[in-house]
Amino acid sequence: MFKKVLFFFGVLLLVTATSQAQQLFRSYSNEFLSLGVGAKGLAMGNVQSASVNDVTSAYWNPAGLNHVEELQVGLMHAEWFAGIGKYDYVGIATPIDGGNKTVGLSVIRFGVDDIPNTLNIVDGDGNIDYDQITTFSAADYGILLSYAQEWRDFRLGGNVKIVHRKVGSFANAWGFGIDLGGQYDLNENLTLSVTAKDITTTVNAWSFNFTEEEKQMLALTDNVIPTNSTELTGQRLVLGAAYKMNLTEQFSLLSELNLDLTFDERNTLLHTSFLSLDPHLGIEAGYNELVFLRLGVNNIQRFLKDEDPSETTLALQPNVGLGLVLGKIHIDYALTGFSNISQGIYSHIFSVRLNLKSGRRAY
């Protein structure tokens, strides 16, 4: 309960901050869409742009949907912040036009439910009335409408992205954007890729719906009463290279490097005042294409040392995971941030992929 009360005040700060500028780019706008989907990709440190080849391609790189050979469904559930935040994903993809094209639909939700609303906890006489506490949800939704096809030696794909963000009855936003992606097999082992997210920038239009009583309470507590505003999500470019080789007839090894570029300054490994570069690396060892062991590293950042703030230390997030193929069912598991288990800053993530229709696609 205490954590959710704190989160409620954090939501108020977010709502207030969102209203402070019109047509403003924000470095971490729609950041819930940067968390990743599918335990496979999360275990590999969010490297998927070049190697992704299933229904989750719509998120990582829509060009990878060209690999989908039959109707496929993906599901994922994860809990963040000791179970306070719920993160869910469902996706569906299927070949069309004789297997020469692929379409997909993906829905992502990140939300915190049952947040106490304490705006009316104090009555007109200054008494605390706990019966006036109600609850609400703060949730972000992303909907991806995807299309992919091959052109010459390239796999190409794109998303039309719809974003809906809702904070109880207080505020909501709608946003629209476009993602594009491409993959190219340089040879039978090496694949190169590029993913351009929010290529046109994603425009998020916020509207606020505080009642007169709520506005009075915000004013009495020295909070700014927000007004309708527009928030812009800047472009993100992901460059990828994946190398897969067969060690023996049974064992395979896949390694991939992704470079995330954003056009602002962030606490990434390499950054300037106008550009930030965030590298992450993942590997996957497979046995008979049935069992997989995955490792990955991401979130490489520098932090000030507690004992000497004039110096910095390098920190990173290691991840590990497993994959199992049972006929048409693919089960994946990821343990992210396992180096922080003692601090409770980690997540168990499970996802499932189902192939629901038999038959190979025709080229």
The stretch 206-215 carries a mean pLDDT of 82
The stretch 42-56 carries a mean pLDDT of 96
Backbone angles phi, psi at 107, to 5 degrees: -130, 130
Q: Is 38 left (phi over 0), alpha (psi -120 to 50) or beta?
A: left
pLDDT of residue 338: 61
Q: What is the DSSP letter of 39?
A: H
pLDDT of residue 215: 78
* CA gap 86, 57 in Å, rounded: 22
When the pLDDT of each residue in the chain is averaged and rounded to a whole number, the result is 84
How would residue 19 be classed by pLDDT, with cut points 50, 70 and 90? Answer: very low
* CA gap 323, 39 in Å, rounded: 9
- Pairing of the two strands 229-233 and 24-26: parallel
pLDDT of residue 4: 43
Length of the chain (residues): 363
pLDDT of residue 187: 94
Architecture of domain 2-355: Beta Barrel (2.40)
Look at residue 148 and tell me whether its pLDDT is greater than 90.
yes
Instruction: Indicate yes or no: pTM above 0.85.
Output: no
Look at residue 156 and tell me whether its pLDDT is greater than 80.
yes
List the chain domain ranges.
2-355
pLDDT of residue 125: 63
Q: Which of 310, 188, 319, 183 is nearest to 245 (CA)?
A: 188
pLDDT of residue 44: 96
* CA gap 232, 206 in Å, rounded: 11
* CA gap 260, 276 in Å, rounded: 8
* CA gap 345, 80 in Å, rounded: 9
* CA gap 355, 363 in Å, rounded: 19
